[in-house]
Amino acid sequence: MSSKSDFISDIWKDGLFDNKVVFCTGGAGTICSAQVRALVYLGANACIVGRNVEKTERVAKEIATVRPGAKVIGIGAVDVRKYDNLEAAAQRCAKELGGIDYVIAGAAGNFLASIEQISVNAFKSVIDIDVLGSYHTLKATLPYLLKSAEKHRYDGKTHIPSPLGTGGRIIFVSATLHYRAMPFQAHVSVAKAGIDALSDSVALEYGPRGITSNIIAPGPIESTEGVDRLIPSHLKEANIQAQPLGRLGHVRDIGDATVYVFSDAGNYLTGQTLVVDGAHWRMSGAGGTLDYPGALLSGKPVANVAGSKKAKL
């Protein structure tokens, strides 16, 4: 059982999300599971979905331990590239938990590869998981978000929002790779730019109906699959020293950002990107992963990239 400090700060009020339901794709991942833990600790019930059945169900049970009486459903064998999978998962979530108030679109795929090295299928797979998966998540949960938004509509005329709290909110988990571009990350940069555009469009189209849509863009977060995969061990210490705040992020930083966006404090926040990276993206985009430009000029492929092959020119 994880301690509270692993996923949330002490500043938030207990019961903040009582009787609320969060639906999260990629919910068994390190970052997204911390986001869901924070919400569940503060009163929400949750449904997390993922590809791996055993892992998704196990993480759901672990999340449920953060608060007595919490209900957390883990639905495995869900491929976000297939809309029917998401639609069925959202229906089950709403049926068993009573609705959907918050959505976190967090399913993603990433690895290091040059444009020359990555295969056409691998490039397409990243786009499909990130962009199409985010769209499917939105589309499948939209009917429930609209109901929640209507129920929890806040007119901004009073200092204290409805005692029912907030609802009808979605967060897309993105990245900062495409702000300045980064070598070996073209596939993910294109995908994340698409996610950002989708979130902004949702904010404009559904703001009049009470839904807020925002992006959380994590930087390098310690002890996550992303950092382990994208920063080779021999470069990790140098990467930490190059961080403006002198440290990598913690999943708690993302958990706190999530609580802020979904809480009463985020009532007027929509169409925004909340970058949680300690100003990392403002450093040079070329460094931090592999030797640049040496790794490109050597002609050697990036090691340990499963399922990739050199493109035919």
* Positions marked catalytic: 174, 192
Cα–Cα distance, 188 to 171 (Å, whole number):
18
Both tokens assigned to 210: 């009470």
Distance, CA of 3 to CA of 114 (rounded, Å): 39
Q: How far apart are CA 223 and CA 216, in angstroms?
A: 18
Q: Which of 19, 180, 159 is nearest to 102 (CA)?
A: 19
Dihedral sign computed on CA atoms, order 274, 275, 276, 278: negative
Please report the beta strands in the chain, taking only residues with DSSP state E, as ranges in sequence order.
21-25, 45-49, 72-75, 102-105, 169-173, 212-218, 273-276
Please count the CA atoms within 13 angstroms of the CA of 58 that sit on its side-chain side.
6
What number of residues does the chain have? Answer: 313
Q: DSSP character for 98?
A: S
